[in-house]
Amino acid sequence: MKLFVGLGNPGAKYARNRHNAGFMAVDRIAEDHGFGPWRAKFQGEVTEGVLGGTKILLLKPGTFMNRSGQSVQAAIVFYKIEPSDITVFQDELDLAPGKVRVKSGGGHAGHNGLRSLHGHIGEGYDRVRIGIGHPGHKDRVSGYVLSDFAKADADWLDDVMRGISDGAPELAKGDGARFMNAVGLRVVPPRAKSGEPTPMKTPTKAQEPAPDTRGPLQKLVDRFR
């Protein structure tokens, strides 16, 4: 069994916050891949399913972001899961909106959810970093991450979540490269290959030739001008 953890804050008021990108990711995976209903457990919500032939436990800690480690620790003790079998989905200030990166281990970079995880289970887990951009100054970070995504973000955010869900089976197999390829296909659709014919455009009315209204005599005169 592997554990996929989405980071966020519980409750409807936080549901569309930038800080809840991790919750959004695991919600999308559960919906697209036929996981069972969410149920209360481990100080959060869990659901189980299969991805890429591997049993997966999805977890959304209900302890609020800065105590996420408590919920994760409770789950891994119960199921005897090693940190190396955990993947955490998180919002990332240091990536531009729409960018996604996979990382194994390393520091928490000031992210409160990761800081809590480090304190409870160490740093030897994988992360899927979901870019939300930076507000430009550290004093604005708290308000920025706890505010909703803008309406203008809806399209790219949906593409990212679809891509994460598409690639989730590869992630379950431990293939980060194939996972990233799945995300890329959603975020940056492939261009037509060189040499392929370009579809002809249907001419607009402005491009169509005007009808010839000349009579037979006028056509004959114009021919010999």
Q: Which residues are catalytic?
A: 19
Query: Between the CA of residue 72 and those of 2, 143, 162, 164, 201, what are the distances in Å?
Result: 12, 26, 25, 21, 55
Tokens of 187: 């975020």
Q: How far apart are CA 165 and CA 22, in angstroms?
A: 12
3-state secondary structure of 31: helix
Backbone angles phi, psi at 174, to 5 degrees: 85, 15
Q: How far apart are CA 213 and CA 110, in angstroms?
A: 76
Q: Count other Cβ atoms within 10 Å, centred on residue 51.
A: 21
Contact in structure between 64 and 52 (CB atoms under 8 Å): no
